[in-house]
A and B are shown apart, each in its own frame.
Chain A
Amino acid sequence: MIAALGRWLTDRLGLDTFRELAEHKRVPVHRHSFWYYWGGMTLFLFGVQVVTGILLLLYYRASADEAYESVRFIMAQVSFGWLIRSIHSWSANLMIGAAMIHMFSAFLLKSYRAPREMTWLSGMALLGLVFAFGFSGYLLPWNQLAFFATKVGTDIAGALPVVGHFILVFLRGGENITGGTLTRFFGFHVAVLPAIVTVILGLHLYLVQRHGMSVPPSVEEAQAKPGAPPPRMMKFVPNFALRDAVGWLAALGVLALLAALFPWELGRKADPYAPAPAGIRPEWYFAWMFQTLRMLPSKILGLEGELVGILGITVAGLGWAAVPFLDDPKGRGQRARLWTWIGVVAIVYIIVFTWLTYRDVKP
């Protein structure tokens, strides 16, 4: 009976096209194949966010009067509310971690080379969107830490020249952080950003299917040598997909562990008139930027140190995103090695500066 239903749906929806695509899809097998899993892992964790996020939407209230209480309600009164909320908060962090691993591996393996420039650019856009998700979602429980972290973050945005103040007012829904900010962030978090991500993620996934999996330059070089064995490939269905499933199951296990052993805290309700609590720091994925700005001297060449820092980070980010057009198109030679080193330095810098924030800034 079920088989008949399956056949009917396949016919009406034209699912055969997809089945063939899936059956034909191949994944290269080589030394660096491990890194191929991280895109799918990010996608899986994003899926977890969507599901848990929608569930939270059923009970959460986005007003300054009720947000904190509604989160407490979810944690204390709703069956398994604590689980859904803790998974949502932990999975956000894991997803951003997976996204960064995915990006750095793509960078170091030079997956951005032609014809995959758009895939890289759409991926950088997705990373930015994911940071925006993290930043907007962080405010929603309306506790002291979130309130002041948002204040610091929007203050930094406001320091940009020319457009800074406009951006600050746009983000905050006014000059200060108020219930209006919360409503606005909520709108970004559950409607605007999901809509944009749907489009760009769709593009990103389409491009990955269209161009297939990129093979790193070192592997390509080895395969091009005369007398090299033919490149090994793995079927996507079922081999790679089952391996994906193992990874996703492991991620699920990690989330269950984290949610049960380290439930996400409620904090204290935000009080705009209380002095900022000591040791505010943003979430770990912004920490390295925060630490960079903290360590800069207050004046550099006559300009505000913080402003120089923000502009510097922005320029570095744009340079990073433009790498498909700046690196050697074949991914070999001196320029290519330079960019690999830049990638390594960036990773080390981020790790060290993230660690420094946690060492120095204690809430």
Chain B
Amino acid sequence: MSARPGRAASARLVLGAALVALAVTTGMPRGALARDTCYECHRAEKEERLVAPTRNILKDIHFEKGLTCASCHGGDPADSEATAMDPDKGFKEHIEHKSIARLCASCHANAAYMKHFNPRPYIFSIEEFETSVHFKKASLGDTKVATCTSCHGVHGILPHTDPASPVYAQNVPRTCAHCHNAEYMKGRSLPTNQYDLYVTSVHGKALLEKGDLSAPACNDCHGNHGAAPPGLNDISMVCGSCHGREGELFIKSRMKAGMDSLGKRGCVTCHSNHGIQHPSDAMLAVGGKGVCGTCHQPGAACDRATVRIVSGFVGLRDSLALADSLLKLAEDRGMETGLGRDSWKEAQDQQVGVRAGLHSFDSAQITGVLDEGLGLARHAADQARAALRDWRTRRIGMGLSLLAILFVIALVTLKIRQIEARQGPP
């Protein structure tokens, strides 16, 4: 009413001040969320499914970059009434499982858009994703299979470099195992022991216990978005991407040709895939703990070759052990063995090379490297023996000096007696 024109103005002023006060006292963030009434209302809700999305949203990378609830769910963020959630305004309360990937891709596959946020963005490839089993099953309506939000989370998505993210390197195995376990996968044909095997493996222990982030998790071998059992030309290309030497040698070897003809896969046949343990020399046998027996018959030419190689390996190992025990003996006797230990370390390095060299499955090559190793181990043992000889020399020297001292003591004692005999009693 014009009779009191200032009243509306002052009411707006008071409301504005109250909102500012509310903003300041409740610590509401400025910027995007300050305009986003969705967050304002939902965080005050009592019903769990309505308030849950607001709990971690402040840490979500999308919100940090200025996006809002409406960016994915549509609707009108500026409208503080229920009319904000009008489907005519594009609001989608619940995004269908099989549509999630396309929704995320609408930004993440758009290079021009992503470049607003990062000069060198990761551009999601929908084509890559379409190669995966997850995509194929999801597009057929399977809602139990993984899509973007299953692994990356939702309403609190963190970059993969953040240790709290479910796709941080160390968290990846557990994230995959969230679904790939016996209970969840009941009724499906896939094996479900991968996680259990992985945590006992060399790679699992390196990543999860030692914190070596370079150790492979599920995605390093299976891919991230195009997750599938490796369908590469050769599995040795997966393993060989880190185990370069072994991969190089194996691809050129007769073993690979043989395995291909039998339809067997390289690397995995002997080392397994998920529960990979530290290889041992015992694996090199047809019987017992050996892996060769998977394909080879006892008594065949390959068996004989194996025996030769194994004896070479054992010979090198024993040679190293002998050198080590000699060095220890010298050290226990107080001798300095620095040079011997240097040689021994060289020999040990050679042993690593020998074990890698095995993957050529070429007797001549393997024997060559083995002989080098044996030579180095022998050198170390020789140096230990020299130290032990020195020790013996010291004892002899000590013995002779003691004899000399005792002899002189005896003479001096006699001299004392002689003098005192002459002197008479004191």
Residue A75 is within 8 A (CB to CB) of chain B in the complex = yes
Stretch in contact with the other chain, from A49-57, A183-191, A250-258: A250-258
Residue A120 is within 8 A (CB to CB) of chain B in the complex = no
A186 to B353, CA, bound (A): 46
A239 and B420 in contact (CB under 8 A), knowing A234-B426, A256-B402, A260-B394?
Answer: yes
A252 to B409, CA, bound (A): 11
Residue A29 is within 8 A (CB to CB) of chain B in the complex = yes
A238 to B423, CA, bound (A): 11
The interface residues of chain B lying within 8 Å CB-to-CB of A232 are 425-426
Residue A175 is within 8 A (CB to CB) of chain B in the complex = no
A249, B334: Cβ atoms closer than 8 Å: no
Q: Which of B335, B398, B423, B425 has the most CB of A within 10 A?
A: B398
Distance in angstroms from A276 CB to nearest chain B CB is 24
B412, A262: Cβ atoms closer than 8 Å: no
A7 to B412, CA, bound (A): 27
Distance in angstroms from B150 CB to nearest chain A CB is 44
The interface residues of chain A lying within 8 Å CB-to-CB of B408 are 249
B405, A256: Cβ atoms closer than 8 Å: yes
A260 to B412, CA, bound (A): 25
The interface residues of chain A lying within 8 Å CB-to-CB of B409 are 246, 249-250, 253
Residue A242 is within 8 A (CB to CB) of chain B in the complex = yes
B292-325 Cβ-contact flags toward A at 8 Å (1 or 0):
0000000000000000000000000000000000
The interface residues of chain B lying within 8 Å CB-to-CB of A242 are 412, 415-416, 419
Per the 8 Å Cβ criterion, residues 216-235 of A in contact with B are 232-235
A249, B412: Cβ atoms closer than 8 Å: yes
The interface residues of chain B lying within 8 Å CB-to-CB of A116 are none
Q: Which of B408, B413, B426 has the most CB of A within 10 A?
A: B426
A263 to B332, CA, bound (A): 10
Residue A337 is within 8 A (CB to CB) of chain B in the complex = no
The interface residues of chain B lying within 8 Å CB-to-CB of A83 are 394
Distance in angstroms from B72 CB to nearest chain A CB is 50
A242 to B417, CA, bound (A): 11
CB contact between B336 and one of A75, A238, A245, A261 (< 8 Å): that residue: A75
The interface residues of chain B lying within 8 Å CB-to-CB of A256 are 398, 401-402, 405
Which chain A residue has the least Cβ–Cβ distance from B333? A263
Residue A211 is within 8 A (CB to CB) of chain B in the complex = no
A353 to B212, CA, bound (A): 49
A233 and B398 in contact (CB under 8 A), knowing A72-B336, A239-B416, A246-B412?
Answer: no
Residue B395 is within 8 A (CB to CB) of chain A in the complex = yes
What's the dominant secondary structure at chain A's contact region? Answer: helix
Distance in angstroms from A254 CB to nearest chain B CB is 9
Residue A351 is within 8 A (CB to CB) of chain B in the complex = no
B387-409 Cβ-contact flags toward A at 8 Å (1 or 0):
00000001101100110011011
Residue B159 is within 8 A (CB to CB) of chain A in the complex = no
Residue A65 is within 8 A (CB to CB) of chain B in the complex = no
B334, A262: Cβ atoms closer than 8 Å: yes
CB contact between A257 and one of B398, B419, B425 (< 8 Å): that residue: B398
Distance in angstroms from B392 CB to nearest chain A CB is 11
Distance in angstroms from B307 CB to nearest chain A CB is 42
A260 to B400, CA, bound (A): 12
B398, A238: Cβ atoms closer than 8 Å: no
A238 to B412, CA, bound (A): 11
The interface residues of chain A lying within 8 Å CB-to-CB of B402 are 253, 256-257
A261 and B426 in contact (CB under 8 A), knowing A242-B412, A246-B413?
Answer: no
A72 and B338 in contact (CB under 8 A), knowing A249-B409, A253-B405, A257-B398?
Answer: yes
Which chain A residue has the least Cβ–Cβ distance from B406? A253
A76 to B408, CA, bound (A): 31
Which chain B residue has the least Cβ–Cβ distance from A243? B416
The interface residues of chain A lying within 8 Å CB-to-CB of B419 are 238-239, 242
A261, B398: Cβ atoms closer than 8 Å: yes
A23-56 Cβ-contact flags toward B at 8 Å (1 or 0):
0000001000000000000000000000000000
A243 to B417, CA, bound (A): 11
A265 and B426 in contact (CB under 8 A), knowing A252-B405, A260-B397, A260-B398?
Answer: no
- 10 closest A-B pairs by CB: A76-B336, A263-B334, A260-B398, A253-B405, A232-B426, A242-B416, A249-B409, A256-B401, A75-B336, A260-B394
